[in-house]
Structure 1
Amino acid sequence: MDFSLRELECFTAVAEELSFTRAAQRLHLAQPPLSRHIRALEQRLGTVLFDRSGRRVALTAAGAVFYEETRSVMPQLIRAGETTRRFASGQTERLRLGFVSAVLSPELVEVLRLFREKHPQVQLLVQDLPPAEQLAALRHGTLDGGFIGLPPEERTPGIELLPWRQEALAAFVPFGHPLAKRQRMDLRALAGEALVAVSSEAAPAFAAYLRRVCGSAGFRPRIVLESPRAQAVAVMVAAGAGIALLPASLRRVVDGAAAVVPIRDAPKISHVFAHAAGAVSPAMRRFMKLLSK
């Protein structure tokens, strides 16, 4: 590496503050040494990183490229140091878990809280990822487990599934739509209605579930807009983009901004927890035991 971490730290501070004065204050460093570090970095790279004309400081084109390529380095080093300190203080195990926004519920939060309470030595790292990305991360070993929502339509090699919980399907309806006044509705009431939905690329199992239940009700869903995130779909409903069929627990996203109407006789949505097949760590065994209760 042709530059030091101190030089990178100074560059990042100036790039984010767009002020040598504020960057020096942020780093608890006098301004002259800060400027020397920036000049040394520019000399090493052979290019000017900041436009210092007048009182204004701005990234040059080269500086913007360098910032884009390096901006994650310092946060990653900070996380590495924090993880090491936690390990040294007794957090000797780690679980990397994913979840899809459709399953973010008080039940999930309670599971994580209870596990953390019972096993404080385990560091929990939680990421919000669509089901398809979680399954890919499990296969590549960058996640230990994930709340993926519905089970995949086809068996995924190397992945095992643990049933977790079930919940009802509901219609999320913009206020002002005639269906928003219903206390409950049959699914076939949505035949021909403009629907917004989670994309099949992000959540193929949920997309297949919707096609199946709508087909059983005698119609094909007319999807006009898609998003990879269930929470975004709920917000699109509140904005008047269309009606959505979503897990009922997502009512928290649109509370007071859209109607949530239960669907009569719709099959329950079954959520599963996925993890890599084969050897399971002691921390994962304890986590799955808690889920099974």
Structure 2
Amino acid sequence: MEYSLRELECFVAVAEELSFTRAARRLHLAQPPLSRHIRVLEEKIGAPLFERSQKGVALTAAGAVFQEETRGILPQLLRAGEAVRRQLQGETARLRLGFVSAVLSEKLVETFRRFRQRHPQVQVMLHDMPPAEQWLGMIQGTLDGGFVGLMPDEKDRPLGMQHVPWREEPLVAFVPSGHRLGAGGSNSSRKPVSIKEFAREPFVAVSSEAAPVFATLLRELCSAAGFRPRIVLESPRAQAVAVMVAAGSGVAFLPESLAHVLGGSVEVVRLKEAPVITHVFAHPAGGSTSPAMKAFLELLSSD
């Protein structure tokens, strides 16, 4: 049985809107031709797809089955059309890359810009995602690689992944403007502060579910200083944590590069015992690495 693209579009619109009027408006189509496409589709299938009553429109049992079986067809056709468009415009490859907000910096933006200049035929699709979601995306094949933040411990690394170090920076404390440990308080000379000075402070932090490696680092640093951090608020994104600091919700240990996000709304305090953290780019290992990914890795290693 053959179905036209227009018939499928009409079915999906009515099934999702449960209204012929709204579906017609969504498709920029008059209602009579919409009803005609649905009627032709029902004749081809041999069963009614919708129940029409004064209360509205509902899927029949056959309609529900047809919706489930055709759920991915339209998106796949749209992706196919987009792939053809890219090919006609000279874009013959695609890279789907994730990144965490904590690594968003001028260097990262410059990396993407230079790659685009050198390889205009490659379409780079960027997704702001927590590390845990990036790992899942790479495992499931919906991401080609990602700037996942810190290198996981060997026991916690997903199998079949390679890691490329690409940037180092210090971990610092973010405190609200005017905080006692900032330049507006007792630390007017901006000297590095010991981590134990934060023992009684409320912390805001990136959630362990979103960034388990970073959460472990925070606990280990505080434990070495003799206390357990009192975390009052969490967020899956580092930028949101920085905003919570600016709002006065607590202090946070974050990569120094995030300071540019809020400007003077927070103060950056250097830590005596804080490590220099290494950000890594992760990607599935193996001989199936695409030419586009190989070119991107070459650019990273040359920085």
TM range (shorter): 0.7 to 0.9
Match of 1:87 in 2: 87
What residue is the counterpart of 1:174 in the other structure?
Answer: 176
Residues 61 and 35 of structure 1: CA distance in aligned 2, closer, same or farther (over 3 Å):
closer
Per-residue displacement from partner, 1:107-155 (whole Å, max 9, x unpaired)? 1111111101101112222222221222233333332221111000125
Q: Secondary structure at the match of 1:164?
A: strand
- The residue that corresponds to 2:247 in the other structure is 239
Q: What's the counterpart of residue 191 of structure 1?
A: 199
* Alignment RMSD (CA, Å): 3.5
Match of 2:161 in 1: 159
SS in 2 for 1:168: strand
**Structure-2 change in CA distance of 1:61 and 1:114 (3 Å):** same
Name the counterpart of 1:200: 208
Q: How does 1:68-83 map to 2 (within 5 A)?
A: 74-75=74-75, 77-83=77-83
TM-score, normalised to structure 2, is 0.77
Q: CA deviation at 1:200?
A: 1.5
Which structure 1 residue ranges, 5 or more long, are not aligned?
Answer: none
Contact 2:175–2:269 at 8 Å: present in 1 too? Answer: no
Which residue number corresponds to residue 123 of structure 1?
123
Structure 2 unaligned segments of length 5 or more: list them: none
Number of equivalences: 285
Instruction: Give 1:281's aligned amino acid.
Output: S
Paired AA for residue 263 in structure 1: R
Q: Secondary structure at the match of 1:152?
A: coil
Is the contact made by 1:164 and 1:270 (CA closer than 8 Å) also made in structure 2?
Answer: yes
Cα distance 1:74–1:242, how it changes in 2: closer, same or farther (>3 A)? farther
8 Å Cα contact 1:134/1:143 also seen in 2: yes
Structure 1's 199 and 35: CA in aligned 2 closer, same or farther, altered over 3 A? Answer: same
TM-score of the pair, normalised by structure 1: 0.79
Residue 267 of structure 2, aligned match among 260, 263, 282: 260
Report deviation, 1:8. 4.5
Of structures 1 and 2, the larger Rg is shown by 2
1:230 lines up with 2:238 in the alignment? yes
Instruction: Tell me the SS of whatever aligns to 2:263.
Output: coil
Return the match for 1:287 from 296, 300, 303. Answer: 296
Say whether the 8 Å CA contact 1:211–1:221 is kept in structure 2: yes
**Matching residue of 1:96:** 96
Q: What secondary structure does 2:200 align onto?
A: coil
Alignment correspondent of 1:215: 223
| Partner residue of 1:271 out of 279, 298, 302 | 279
Sort the Cα spacing of 1:33 and 1:61 in 2 relative to 1 into closer, same or farther, 3 A: closer
Percent sequence identity is 61
From the superposition, tell whether residues 217 and 61 of structure 1 become closer, same or farther in structure 2 (CA, over 3 Å).
Answer: farther
